[in-house]
Structure formats: C-alpha cells, structure tokens
Amino acid sequence: MSNEKQDNLGRVMTPLCRFDYVKIFDVRKTAIGSNQELPEDKWAQEMVCLFPKNLTDPKDVAALQGLRDLVMRAAKQFYPDIDINARKPDGSPAIKLPVLDGDSYNAQKGGKLPHYIGMNYFTVRSIGRKFHTTPAQIDSAGNIVDIHDKRELYSGCWGKCMVTIYPNAKGTPPGLNFGLSSMLKIKDDTPLFAGGAGNAANDFAELAADPKNRPNNSQMFESSSQSTLGF
C-alpha cells in the first residue's frame, strides 16, 4: 500500500526476518476472516516477518531502530492527540502498534507455533495491484534479480523488506500498519507448515524403513488382473 503521506514519512529497511504465512504470488483475495472475494483493487500481498528479540548484527540493530523511528513519526502524524505509550482501561495500547510479541502469540495458539518463541513479529501488506511488488534475490554473481518461480519464496525462508507505514482506516480504532514496498529473499531454511513445500524423504522416513510398505510386483499384477474397470 502506498500514498503520498506514507512517502512523506519515508521508507525503512527491516532487520533480517523469517517469512511466514507468505502470500506474495498467491495474493489474498478475500477480507480477513471472510470468504467473500474482494474487488481486484483490494487484493493484498502480505506475509508475517519474524525477527529475534535479541539482535546481534549491528545492521539489524540499526534497522530495528529505523522501524521504531518510523512508528514514532507515524503516530505523531496520524494520531497527534494520543500518547503512543498510553493505555486503555483494559490495559491494551491506545494505539495498536505493528510490532508484536511472538511468545505471547505462540501461547495464545496453545504452543503450536514454536518458531515464534523468542521472536517479535509484524505483518507487511501491499494492497491494490498497482502497488504489488515483485520479490527479488541475490544471484551467484551478486546481482539483485526478480524471483519468478513461486517455489523459491515460501514460509520459512529469510530476507528483508523495505516498508512504509499507514494508519487504520477512518472510523476504526487507532492503529499503525506496515506497507510492503519491496522485498529481498536472502537465505533458505526449513519450510514452515504455514506454507511452502515439505520434503517427502524426511517426512516419511519411518514409513520407508518398514518393508511392509514397499511394493510387491506380483501382488500388484494380481490385483490389476481382478480389476472391474474393463481393461
């Protein structure tokens, strides 16, 4: 998502993140929590970005500070009358901030998301086809090239994004969101069950080790001779 106000606030690079719930090539065409298809100009590229709470690379530490500065500028511009540190009576933030706690989210999901442990996370979106970005990666010669094979971009790989920021829609509770300007895949990792391709050799190793699961040619031919399909 992009507009003049966001461009005025600037763009910043994220720390190195692990991508999850990746919908970049296969965009989300429905409203969140609904099966009703949206108009094409509302289709969204989106994904979750996770990064360690304890960053060690100085460049990532600087990138995180850049995110914080962007959030502060946006809060002052879009919600000048609300203290960014203020709380509602129920204890929730007066302004919903885009960077969230992975440990809390994993606990909410009953511990089913172990890759969120020790992480902070945020969602990035690009809404409307004219704003959609083409993901890129670095080739063996050091060139930044577009990714055209969607199998190369999956939940579990790592990379960085260039993000903008925008407020919640008018009439909704105060909140800030990251818009996806561009993205770069940097390294592969084990695919997460939220998306991406698995590895059959790893997934079914125990079954392969059991001789009873191996084909017996004589049984196969015997079975086919008794077929009722007529050939």
Predicted pLDDT of residue 225: 44
Predicted pLDDT of residue 206: 79
Predicted pLDDT of residue 8: 79
Predicted pLDDT of residue 34: 81
User: Could you state, in order of their start, the residue ranges of all structural domains in the chain?
Assistant: 4-196
Mean pLDDT per 10-residue segment, the chain (231 residues): 58 97 93 84 94 96 97 96 93 94 96 96 92 93 95 96 95 96 96 61 76 64 44 33
Predicted pLDDT of residue 209: 82
Q: What is the 3-state secondary structure (H, E, C) of the chain?
A: CCCHHHHHHCCEECCCEEEEEEEEEEEECECCCCCCECCHHHCEEEEEEEEECCCCCHHHHHHHHHHHHHHHHHHHHHCCCCCCCCECCCCCECCECCCEEHHHHHHHCCCCCHHHCCEEEEEEEEECHHHCCCCEEECCCCCEEECCCHHHCCECEEEEEEEEEEECCCCCCCEEEEEEEEEEEEECCCCCCCCCCCCHHHHCHHHHCCHHHCCCHHHHHHHHHCCCCCC
Report the topology of domain 4-196.
OB fold (Dihydrolipoamide Acetyltransferase, E2P) (2.40.50)
